[in-house]
Amino acid sequence: MRLSTLLNHPAPWLTSLGDGDDIALYTRISLARNLPDLPFPGWSLPEHRQAVLNRVLPVLQELPELKNGFYSEISDLPLQERHLLLERQLLSTELAARDAGCAVAVSRNQSLDILINEEDHLRLRLYQSGCDIPALWAEMDRLDTWIENRLQYAYDAQLGHLTSCPSNLGTGLRITVALHLPGISMANLAPQLMNAAEKLNITIRSLYGDGPEAFGNVYQISNKSTLGQSEEEIVTQMAAIVNSIAERERQIRLKLLQRNFTDVIDRVGRSVGTLHFACSLSCREAAEHLSYVRLGAALGLVNWAPAPQRAEAREQLSSIALHILPAHLKKAMIETFGDRAEESDQQTLRAFYIHKNLCPALPYGAKEPDAAPTND
């Protein structure tokens, strides 16, 4: 599978609507694994990393899920292509900065990627739309067992799986769920959510980066510890925490409709109007307005296209949120303008892209409600 083919077909888990009310967008489960007799990548020499590749690749070539998928050593990927994979979340920032002896393998449907010689020798990552953590873990456990039957892992009877970073010791299991929380943001409750993270033993960060400010009101929720708990305990705990946060978002949305209906519909309507008429949009500004359009769609406040086209129109929101990111927009500029791409204004093209792909399905203005909720 060529990279161009992969890039022309975004992963379904990344561009779908997530759950029914557009809160849990997607889930990722990752496992850190290492070989027993070679130094961790951060301390290794090029010959050590090559030894890992020589041992791992024959096994991965037999993995059914990677059949007809994409594989590349990082040194063979130009910088622009690394940025594209980063925005697709099929590469990590750390691996993108590495070079010789490091590689990435991606399944054809992009639901599985394997990072080789990143922080650990292997980082297995499995994705799904929405949030069904037990089901995703069952699939990851099966894949991990398949690989372990063919590769010996570095394992200690007391500590569990040995990893480069002590925070991954034990199970090496990291569960991450992307939650769309515009209600919590509008109610100015994000600081409370951040403060609760320590007590819940989770980490909360923005979709693109570790800063506290959410990008497009999307937060990534992850378990913090992997030592001292079984995989099943981590799965159960994370499912409960994510469900609790999602339920809190639903409650806040309902309260906002009941007590601040005008503010909510004004915020949605302003975002619809901005996306229709803006001639220049920064990436963060566009992401924020798309977030409130998504909120309006989930609450039934947006005048969508005719009924047969509404599902397709809503799915476009996730696809557009991906394609307005800098590397994807630059790719579109190069395809459109060729050698003149560098002369083109990215913010202007971003606004044009939204006009072309979203606005025909999104008539100007918010939906006229039958009756506003009663204020109390």
Same domain, 34 and 109: yes
Say if 251 falls within a structural domain: no
Does the pLDDT of residue 374 top 60, yes or no? no
In this prediction, residue 297 has a pLDDT band, given cuts at 50, 70 and 90, of: confident
104 is in an annotated binding site: no
127 is in an annotated binding site: no
177 is in an annotated binding site: yes
296 is in an annotated binding site: no
Burial class (CB in 10 A: 0-12, 13-18, 19+), 260: middle
Instruction: Look at residue 86 in the predicted model and tell me its pLDDT.
Output: 94
6 is in an annotated binding site: no
Say if 210 falls within a structural domain: no
Same domain, 313 and 166: no
175 is in an annotated binding site: yes
Same domain, 152 and 76: yes
User: What is the mean predicted confidence (pLDDT) over 232-247?
Assistant: 95
Say if 200 falls within a structural domain: no
In this prediction, residue 317 has a pLDDT band, given cuts at 50, 70 and 90, of: confident
108 is in an annotated binding site: no
Same domain, 230 and 296: no
Same domain, 172 and 271: no
Look up the pTM and report it: 0.90
Summarised one tens digit per residue, pLDDT across range 135-159 is: 999 999 999 999 999 999 999 999 9
Same domain, 79 and 152: yes
28 is in an annotated binding site: yes
29 is in an annotated binding site: yes
Instruction: Look at residue 359 in the predicted model and tell me its pLDDT.
Output: 73
262 is in an annotated binding site: no
In this prediction, residue 275 has a pLDDT band, given cuts at 50, 70 and 90, of: very high
User: What is the mean predicted confidence (pLDDT) over 196-224?
Assistant: 83
Phi, psi of 210 (to 5 degrees): -100, 5
CA distance 188 to 190: 6
210 is in an annotated binding site: yes
Instruction: Look at residue 298 in the predicted model and tell me its pLDDT.
Output: 84
Say if 9 falls within a structural domain: yes
Lowest mean pLDDT of 14-18, 162-166, 357-361, name the range. Answer: 14-18
Same domain, 232 and 330: no
178 is in an annotated binding site: yes
339 is in an annotated binding site: no
Give the number of domains in the chain: 2
